Amino acid sequence: MPRTTTIALVGVHGYGTVHLDNLRRLGDRVRLVAAADPRPPALGALPEHTRVFADLPALLAATDDIDVVIVATPLHTHLELARTVVGRGIDLYLEKPPVLTLADLRVLQEAAATSGARVQVGFQSLGSRALRAFAEDRFDLGPIRAIGAVGLWATRPRVLGAQPVGRAPQARRRRRRRRGHDQPARPRHRHRPRDRRNDSCRRHHTGHRRPLPCQCHRGR
Ligand SMILES: NC(=O)c1ccc[n+]([C@@H]2O[C@H](COP(=O)([O-])OP(=O)(O)OC[C@H]3O[C@@H](n4cnc5c(N)ncnc54)[C@H](O)[C@@H]3O)[C@@H](O)[C@H]2O)c1
């Protein structure tokens, strides 16, 4: 029977609650021996046997049977907490993003290499069971020839410069007309001083006998 892994959780609110759920799901394979957070956990949020501390140093001073510390605190606290954990030779699960700068990451790498502690950062695929499943060809795909990645994200249309739904120019004009304060279209050359007009504008404005369609009067 596999040995129970002892865990300490730093940061019990916010994303820490997801870790609490996951630890619960792992049942007897893990034991949450201690937690640290300046904000005490809600009643019943932790197992009864879990000891609660206000900070990590107090937790480490009072507990010596920890295999893994999970750090799920805000980013600016990561480096200090992470160094404290690996400095004690304890394996660390550090929430993403690991630290603020590349220089900080090197500091953490060195600290881990010195003590021999292992560090895993949340939100990365190397710890995923999917990787092993692919390596063992459990999806019956045959030999792997290449590995690619596809990213997908969504953002509000305004960010990409598109018109938000229901706010197309014609809809805006219709709304203005309904409200009864539609104005005649404004000339479009406000931004373009007379002497900087391009050739077609110059021909238009100087009464050229064959004026070209002019950018600044388009749509009037
Ligand atoms: N993997 C993911 O999908 C995912 C999703 C959301 C957040 N996160 C990461 O989780 C981490 C926490 O994010 P959050 O939104 O829960 O933050 P949060 O601001 O809600 O803080 C989480 C908890 O940490 C505690 N805390 C703060 N400083 C502490 C300290 N020095 N020692 C002990 N506890 C401390 C806070 O009191 C709080 O209970 C961040 O690194 C964030 O990027 C990861």
- Residue 36 CA: which ligand 1 atom is closest? 33
Q: What percent of the chain has pLDDT over 70?
A: 70
Residues with CB under 6 A from ligand 1: 10-16, 36-39, 55-56, 72-75, 77, 95-96, 122-123
- Residue 16 CA: which ligand 1 atom is closest? 16
185-218 pLDDT per residue, tens: 555 555 555 545 555 555 555 666 666 665 555 5
98-119 pLDDT per residue, tens: 999 999 999 999 999 999 999 9
Identify the structural domains of the chain with CATH numbers, from first to last.
5-125 (3.40.50.720)
Band of pLDDT at residue 2, cut at 50, 70 and 90: confident
Cβ proximity of 82 and 76 under 8 Å: no
Rounded distance, CA 90 to CA 106, Å?
A: 18
Rounded distance, CA 179 to CA 115, Å?
A: 71
31-81 pLDDT per residue, tens: 999 999 999 999 999 999 999 999 999 999 999 999 999 999 999 999 999
Tokens of 71: 């750090």
What's the 58 CA to ligand 1 centre distance in angstroms?
19
Q: What percent of the chain has pLDDT over 90?
A: 55
What's the 74 CA to ligand 1 centre distance in angstroms?
4
170-184 pLDDT per residue, tens: 666 776 777 666 555
148-176 pLDDT per residue, tens: 888 887 766 555 454 444 456 666 677 67
User: So what's the pLDDT on residue 166?
Assistant: 47
How many helices and strands in the chain, by DSSP H and E?
Answer: 7, 6
Residue nearest to atom 2 of ligand 1 (CA): 123
